[in-house]
Amino acid sequence: MPHILVTNDDGIQAPGLRALVEALRELATLTVVAPASERSAAAQSLTLRQPVYYEEIAEREYAVEGTPADAVILALHKLLPDKPDLVISGINRGGNIGENVYYSGTVGAAKEAAIHGVPAVAISLAYRRPECDFAPAAQFMKSLASVILREGLPAGVPLNVNVPQDWSGEVRFTRQSRKITRNVLQPGADGNGRPYFLLSEQQLTEGIEPDTDYAAIRAAAVSITPLELDVTHTQSLNHLSHWAAILKRNSLEP
């Protein structure tokens, strides 16, 4: 039986992770290693210079007092007996599309696994409501996992999957949108008069490019974006490299 590591950024008790575990149970042996509490928007950050506590809270389930990337590192280096066949991060409550891919702890965990050479998927429900139904996304992830276990993934290419609220049944392979939100900064001041801003965001409704994750979600399709870990912009590398001669330190000058 294949072995799947399940993690997330909403915390080990989050309903999205539980729905995923339920759906994947018959497909694979599962180990859950996930943050003990919610660490959304942790991206791929690590906990350094302080201990990362962990606890076995059930059979093959470990709660980690750290970030999603910490959890994956503990799992792959210490907690799992062997390298898993697949790492699945989610199901996140709230979409991870456009620039949110940069901030997402759900995606951060999948990227960490991909860096370690393990096929990885981040999966998110592209809406957040009190009555989130994770079951359709969990069933979708089960079908996708069996395809990946059979066919594999390109090395170092994690998939970022988003499932819309009322899925039409359509699946689109997409690219990441450019910034899809407007930053909203609400000014305020505390009791001592210290000024602050409260940050939130507003989703844009115009300028959505048709082949993107955001367009797929708005069309009620599941969006799958293959991500690249190497963020080098090769075109600019070629275009800018002649600057090296200008910037080179001249050994004759002081």
Half-sphere exposure of 201 toward its Cβ, with a 13 Å CA cutoff? 11
6-14, 50-58, 150-158, 190-198 -> range binding Mn ion (CB under 5 A): 6-14
Q: Does 40 bind Mn ion (CB under 5 A)?
A: yes
Number of residues that bind Mn ion (CB under 5 A): 4
Reference 218, options 227, 226, 209; nearest CA is: 209
Residue with Cβ nearer Mn ion (40 or 160): 40
Using CA atoms, how far apart are residues 73 and 127, in angstroms rounded to an integer? 29
Q: Does 9 bind Mn ion (CB under 5 A)?
A: yes
Find the binder of Mn ion among 10, 85, 112, 213 (CB under 5 A).
Answer: 10
Tokens 């290693």 -> residue: 33
CB of 1 to Mn ion, least distance (A): 29
Q: Does 213 bind Mn ion (CB under 5 A)?
A: no
Whether 201 and 184 have beta carbons less than 8 Å apart is answered as yes
Using CA atoms, how far apart are residues 10 and 16, in angstroms rounded to an integer? 8
Q: How far is CA 188 from CA 12, 184, 195, 204, in A?
A: 34, 13, 6, 25
Query: Which residue's CB atom is positioned nearest to Mn ion?
Result: 40
Q: Does 92 bind Mn ion (CB under 5 A)?
A: yes
Residue with Cβ nearer Mn ion (92 or 174): 92
Residue with Cβ nearer Mn ion (9 or 85): 9
| Contacting residues toward Mn ion, per CB under 5 A | 9-10, 40, 92
